[in-house]
């Protein structure tokens, strides 16, 4: 039998490796930015075209490479970061495997220009699908510029899996944030399709966070600083009142490397226990400095997961450090043993002396004296005659036993009636009632109809909003005083993309600035206090539900707004409101399901009820 095992060609092996390292344009951005940081750069520019599908270029002013190093950098497992296996436990750089550039060059057109500081000329290399097309001497500034064009050009199936430009751009911005947040000593720029999205100057960590997420972030931050033999913890956490429903502002860094850790995330959540409402998540930007020997980075292709030697100790230190900071800055309630100034002696009484209390004693009192009057006078008791009258007075006004029994029965009936009236609101002349302020129960010919009021109202609002957006006939109410709402740059990009759809629902936007938007009109059914909540929820839904080519952004906007504006479970409805909700629900095109395809009502036949009593 012929041998069937054979070595794969290099370009095929590189394409397979690229499947692990390069999943989308954001993966390329991450690898190139980390290489630029390892090159000791203090200014890095990221240039993107068509969300990275056409061009991803990173320009740095680092140490550059020689002609030989530039050629070897595209070979598999060629690296300057490690030499022996032991070096894996002494890593102080971002990259170390030597797979990134080889994988990228296997699935794209790559152009590299680089020059060392003392060299007169640099080198330019062009590679297409792992094949070197040209190598020549060029005039180029100090540092390195690498451009990746036409990503996945030779793997059409992978390119077809890419999402829309808006979605891919959000992933690129996420990776950009993860690198820029912790390397605040480097000047970063992000340019997309010729427009500058971010220009982050060198700063401290707090200012870098504010520059990325907007000026409103500054007031939300609580500093964390803890230095122990095991762990050096620094960074910031967000105040509990500014917690979000999403995890968009949660960043862990270990030795200046972004990681994801559900275990450490639990430590942060436990420190905030009792300070936030259910369903909300705290913001945090935490950097953990640990001994490289105590962690293993090489357990995941993207290096975002790390194995710790002693997770339990890190958990305890992090939890106590955050709790301490929240208490130190009066964020969480603490026991205060300080003196209460309200108990101080008033100023006008400071010179006065306390008077000695006196006790008056009745020296003529004799407990053995038979005189009742004297005894009663000295001890404050009534005489026997008065005592007898007082005892009789206890029975004045009481009726016979039958009347008292009737009164007790009436009270019991009233208690039973109040018990049922609070829970169901049943009256003789109505056909619907509300159960536990969550469900609307109505009688029908065959039995009972039970409606989930929250899902039913979602369906009603969803169809109305879709009609408003498509026909553009929504009514807007103008605000007396315009609302100035603060958002991060990434959130503002999303709002600008949704501007036309939102205006069709009744929102009116006057101006967009770098970190805020001015709202002058809102839909009729949205109160002024709900505007920021509704828009934040919408931005969050767009970020995390990620509509692609086959998914309408208009549909997502309608779903998100319907979810935010629908009446909640637990809200009490009048009889008229219950009837109105039922009538509007069954006037919908799809009354049986909510916008998220969950049942809005169930029917229970009389036969099912009969079975309950068998």
| Closest-CA residue to 509 (of 526, 491, 496) | 496
* Average pLDDT over every residue of 543-565: 70
> 450 or 346: which carries more pLDDT confidence?
450
Contacts of 280 (CB under 8 A, 6+ apart): 243, 244, 245
* CB of 287 closer than 8 Å to CB of 192: no
**Using CA atoms in the order 73, 77, 78, 81, what is the torsion angle rounded to 10 degrees?**
110
| Closest-CA residue to 260 (of 318, 300, 200, 211) | 300
Q: Do 194 and 226 share a domain, yes or no?
A: no
Boundary-marking domain end, from 200, 226, 254: 200
Q: Which of 2-11, 179-188, 468-477 has the highest mean pLDDT?
A: 179-188
Contacts of 564 (CB under 8 A, 6+ apart): 530, 533, 534, 537, 538
* CB of 200 closer than 8 Å to CB of 476: no
Q: Do 142 and 269 share a domain, yes or no?
A: no
- In this prediction, what percent of the chain has a pLDDT beyond 90? 21
Lowest mean pLDDT among 71-85, 174-188, 487-501, 505-519: 71-85
* pLDDT (0 to 100) of residue 333: 57
Q: Classify residue 588: in a domain, yes or no.
A: yes
| CA gap 93, 257 in Å, rounded | 9
Q: Do 186 and 257 share a domain, yes or no?
A: no
Q: Do 42 and 83 share a domain, yes or no?
A: yes
Task: Give per-residue burial for 403-438: e unless 16+ CB within 10 Å, then b.
Answer: eeeeeeeeeeeeeeeeeeeeeebeeeeeebbbeeee
Q: Do 184 and 216 share a domain, yes or no?
A: no
* pLDDT (0 to 100) of residue 81: 61
pTM of the model: 0.68
* CB of 494 closer than 8 Å to CB of 535: no
The pLDDT of residue 201 is above 70: yes
Q: How would residue 416 be classed by pLDDT, with cut points 50, 70 and 90?
A: very low
> 526 or 145: which carries more pLDDT confidence?
145
Report helix, strand or coil for 291: coil
Q: Classify residue 370: in a domain, yes or no.
A: no
The pLDDT of residue 408 is above 60: no
Q: Do 155 and 232 share a domain, yes or no?
A: no
Q: Classify residue 464: in a domain, yes or no.
A: yes
Q: Which of 139-148, 360-369, 394-403, 513-522 has the highest mean pLDDT?
A: 139-148
- In this prediction, what percent of the chain has a pLDDT beyond 70? 78
- Give the chain's domain count: 3
The pLDDT of residue 219 is above 70: yes
Q: Do 51 and 123 share a domain, yes or no?
A: yes
* pLDDT (0 to 100) of residue 9: 73
* Average pLDDT over every residue of 161-178: 87
Q: How would residue 422 be classed by pLDDT, with cut points 50, 70 and 90?
A: very low
> 222 or 95: which carries more pLDDT confidence?
222
* pLDDT (0 to 100) of residue 241: 85
Lowest mean pLDDT among 7-11, 24-28, 136-140, 439-443: 7-11
Contacts of 178 (CB under 8 A, 6+ apart): 30, 251, 258
> 336 or 158: which carries more pLDDT confidence?
158
Q: Do 193 and 251 share a domain, yes or no?
A: no
Contacts of 420 (CB under 8 A, 6+ apart): 426
Q: Classify residue 484: in a domain, yes or no.
A: yes
Q: How would residue 371 be classed by pLDDT, with cut points 50, 70 and 90?
A: low
Q: Which of 15-29, 270-284, 386-400, 549-563 has the highest mean pLDDT?
A: 270-284
Domain range spanning residue 559? Answer: 449-601
* pLDDT (0 to 100) of residue 504: 82
Q: Which of 270-284, 320-334, 471-485, 541-555 has the highest mean pLDDT?
A: 270-284
* pLDDT (0 to 100) of residue 183: 93
Q: How would residue 192 be classed by pLDDT, with cut points 50, 70 and 90?
A: very high
Given 3-state DSSP classes, what are the helix, strand and coil percentages for the chain, each rounded to the nearest 5?
40, 20, 35
* pLDDT (0 to 100) of residue 251: 92
| 221 Rama class: left (phi>0) / alpha (psi -120 to 50) / beta | beta
The pLDDT of residue 390 is above 70: no
* pLDDT (0 to 100) of residue 426: 43
* pLDDT (0 to 100) of residue 216: 79
* Average pLDDT over every residue of 398-410: 57
Q: Do 561 and 536 share a domain, yes or no?
A: yes
CATH of the domain at 258: 3.30.230.10
The pLDDT of residue 147 is above 80: yes
Lowest mean pLDDT among 7-11, 169-173, 338-342: 338-342
Q: Classify residue 3: in a domain, yes or no.
A: no
Q: How would residue 245 be classed by pLDDT, with cut points 50, 70 and 90?
A: confident
Over the stretch 122-132, which tens digit does the pLDDT of each residue have? 999 999 888 88
Boundary-marking domain end, from 328, 345, 372: 328
Q: Do 252 and 173 share a domain, yes or no?
A: no
The pLDDT of residue 538 is above 70: yes
* pLDDT (0 to 100) of residue 172: 92
Lowest mean pLDDT among 180-189, 401-410, 418-427: 418-427
* CB of 437 closer than 8 Å to CB of 570: yes
Q: Classify residue 265: in a domain, yes or no.
A: yes
CATH of the domain at 558: 3.30.1370.100
* pLDDT (0 to 100) of residue 383: 47
* pLDDT (0 to 100) of residue 49: 93
| The pairing of beta strand 250-254 with beta strand 601-605 | unpaired
Average pLDDT, the chain: 80
Q: Classify residue 318: in a domain, yes or no.
A: yes
* CB of 114 closer than 8 Å to CB of 61: no
The pLDDT of residue 244 is above 90: no
* pLDDT (0 to 100) of residue 90: 61
Q: Classify residue 534: in a domain, yes or no.
A: yes
The pLDDT of residue 477 is above 70: yes
Q: Do 27 and 124 share a domain, yes or no?
A: yes
* Average pLDDT over every residue of 352-370: 77
Boundary-marking domain end, from 296, 328, 360: 328
Q: Do 125 and 100 share a domain, yes or no?
A: yes
* pLDDT (0 to 100) of residue 404: 56
The pLDDT of residue 264 is above 50: yes
| CA gap 55, 50 in Å, rounded | 7
Over the stretch 295-347, which tens digit does the pLDDT of each residue have? 777 666 666 777 788 888 889 999 999 988 888 876 655 555 555 556 666 66
CATH of the domain at 154: 3.30.565.10
């Amino acid at each position: 039998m012929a041998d069937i095992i054979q070595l794969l060609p290099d370009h095929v092996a590189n394409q397979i490796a690229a499947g692990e390292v390069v999943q989308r344009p954001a993966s390329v951005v991450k690898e190139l930015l980390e290489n630029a940081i390892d090159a000791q750069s203090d200014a890095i520019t990221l240039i993107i075209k068509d969300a990275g599908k056409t061009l991803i270029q990173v320009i740095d002013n680092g140490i550059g490479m020689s002609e030989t190093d530039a050629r070897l950098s595209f070979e598999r497992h060629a690296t300057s970061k490690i030499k022996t296996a032991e070096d894996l436990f002494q890593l102080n750089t971002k990259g170390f495997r030597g797979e990134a550039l080889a994988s990228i060059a296997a699935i794209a057109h790559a152009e590299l220009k680089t020059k060392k500081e003392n060299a007169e000329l640099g080198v330019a290399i062009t590679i297409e699908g792992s094949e070197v097309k040209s190598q020549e001497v060029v005039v180029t500034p100090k540092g390195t510029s690498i451009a990746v064009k036409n990503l996945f050009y030779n793997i059409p199936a992978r390119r077809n899996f890419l999402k829309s430009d808006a979605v891919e751009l959000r992933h690129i911005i996420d990776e950009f944030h993860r690198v820029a947040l912790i390397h605040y000593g480097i000047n970063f720029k992000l340019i997309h399709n010729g427009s500058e999205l971010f220009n982050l100057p060198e700063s401290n960590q707090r200012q870098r966070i504010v520059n990325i997420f907007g000026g409103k972030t500054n007031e939300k931050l609580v500093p964390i600083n803890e230095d122990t033999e095991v762990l050096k913890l620094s960074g910031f956490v967000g105040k509990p009142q500014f917690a979000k429903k999403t995890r968009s502002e949660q960043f862990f860094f270990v030795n200046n490397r972004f990681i994801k850790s559900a275990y450490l995330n639990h430590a942060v959540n436990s420190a905030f226990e009792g300070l936030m409402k259910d369903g909300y998540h705290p913001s945090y930007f935490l950097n953990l400095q640990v001994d490289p020997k105590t962690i293993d980075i090489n357990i995941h292709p993207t290096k975002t997961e790390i194995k710790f030697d002693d997770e339990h100790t890190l958990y305890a230190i992090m939890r106590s450090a955050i709790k301490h900071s929240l208490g130190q800055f009066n964020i969480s309630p603490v026991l205060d043993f300080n003196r209460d100034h309200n108990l101080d002696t008033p100023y006008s009484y400071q010179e006065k002396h306390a008077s000695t209390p006196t006790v008056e004693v009745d020296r003529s009192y004799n407990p053995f004296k038979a005189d009742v009057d004297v005894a009663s006078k000295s001890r404050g008791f009534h005489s026997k005659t008065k005592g007898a009258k007082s005892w009789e007075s206890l029975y004045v006004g009481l009726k016979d036993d039958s009347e008292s029994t009737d009164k007790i029965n009436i009270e019991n009936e009233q208690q039973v009636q109040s018990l049922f009236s609070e829970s169901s609101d049943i009256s003789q002349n109505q056909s619907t009632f509300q159960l536990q302020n969550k469900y609307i129960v109505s009688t029908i010919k065959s039995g009972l109809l039970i409606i989930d009021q929250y899902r039913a109202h979602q369906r009603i609002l969803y169809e109305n909003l879709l009609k408003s957006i498509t026909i553009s006939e929504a009514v807007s109410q103008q605000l007396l005083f315009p609302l100035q709402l603060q958002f991060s740059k990434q959130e503002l990009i999303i709002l600008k993309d949704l501007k036309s759809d939102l205006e069709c629902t009744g929102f009116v936007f006057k101006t967009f600035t770098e970190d805020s938007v001015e709202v002058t009109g809102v839909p009729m059914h949205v109160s002024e206090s709900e505007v920021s909540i509704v828009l934040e929820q919408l931005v969050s839904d767009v970020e995390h539900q990620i509509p692609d080519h086959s998914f309408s952004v208009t549909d997502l906007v309608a779903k998100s707004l319907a979810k935010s504006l629908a009446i909640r479970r637990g809200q009490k409805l009048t009889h008229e409101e219950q009837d109105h909700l039922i009538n509007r629900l069954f006037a919908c095109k799809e009354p049986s399901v909510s916008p998220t395809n969950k049942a809005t009502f169930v029917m229970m036949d009389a036969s099912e009820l009969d079975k309950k009593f068998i």
